[in-house]
Amino acid sequence: MRLGIDIGGTKTAALVLDAAGEVVAHVAAPSGHGTAQTLSTAVDVADRAAAEVGGWGEIDHVGACMPGLVDPETGWARHAVNLSVQSLDLAGGIEAATGRRPHVDNDVKAAALGAHHAVRPHVPAGTTAYLNVGTGLAAAFVHRGRVVRGAGGAAGEIGHIPVGTGIPCSCGQEGCLETIASGTALLRLWPRPAGELFPAASAGDEHAGDVVATLAHGIALAVQVLVVTGAEVVVIGGGLARDRHELEEAIGADISRRAAVSPFLRRLDLVSRVVVLEGGVPVAAIGAALLPGQIEQVGVGV
């Protein structure tokens, strides 16, 4: 069996996958903050998940992921701002506490593996892109069951591609895609509870409708970039995907409107390539469990 640990900005989760790739244990707790608490919380949930399947003796492989700059080779994580972690020997710390050295990676790359695993039985694809629409906008590719890294590990990181909005971005540029397609963008455009946006738009609120259209356009542009750079399927997750059906409809409307005047976009058939995840699917923890050897060595094929 495989155990995966996902250290998030607010929640840390651990789960166990059986030989068929099914979740057989799942434990979560509020994340710790600072190096020591972040690590101790991760170890605690991992211990509890392992205990649910009979203990660490039943676990064959371990993986872990977290935000920030995570080096799979050294096992170190750096600059996880939301966790107040400047540097952490993630692999070494987990090994010291559990006796098992995990494979580690960035959370979005791990989530891409988990998303590929989650949708593949229904949407076969050689190359899947995972688009995380959360506080920021980030993406990663999985090709034939393996994460595509690219130069400096930046393959798929499209949030800071300038698209001409003219809005200052946290990265120091202006007009990045993230400025119209992220939780940060939503907060700027809609200073009311996020859960009220789609109901207000459906009720005819003109401002809410404009905000939905802006977000959908930004996400649709992100999908387009990912498809023209190799993705056959784009799986969307993250906080903004919680209104799954409404978001799918809005993205589809934007794509269809532009495709009506663009033979190029019609050929890409973008609408059929978009999958918005069901809420609550723990894709990052699933992906973390798949990191050792990645998907090829799990009994689910590619």
Same-domain pairing of 168 and 194: yes
Same-domain pairing of 219 and 267: yes
Same-domain pairing of 121 and 267: yes
What pLDDT was estimated at residue 122? 72
In the sheet with 233-237, reading across from the earlier edge strand, the strands are 146-148, 137-143, 127-133, 233-237, 274-276
Q: Which residues of the chain have pLDDT under 50?
A: 296-302
Domain assignment of residue 293, yes or no: no
**CATH code where residue 120 lies:** 3.30.420.40
Q: Which residues pair with 231 in a beta bridge?
A: none
What pLDDT was estimated at residue 152? 66
Q: Are 111 and 7 in contact (CB under 8 A)?
A: no
Domain assignment of residue 52, yes or no: yes
Same-domain pairing of 13 and 42: yes
What pLDDT was estimated at residue 302? 31
Burial class (CB in 10 A: 0-12, 13-18, 19+), 15: buried
What pLDDT was estimated at residue 298? 41
Same-domain pairing of 226 and 128: yes
What pLDDT was estimated at residue 173? 87
Instruction: Give me the number of domains the chain comprises.
Output: 2
What pLDDT was estimated at residue 273? 93
Question: Residue 288: which of 88, 23, 79 has the closest Cα?
Answer: 23
Same-domain pairing of 139 and 221: yes
What pLDDT was estimated at residue 295? 54
Same-domain pairing of 190 and 211: yes
Domain assignment of residue 216, yes or no: yes
Domain housing 220 = 111-276
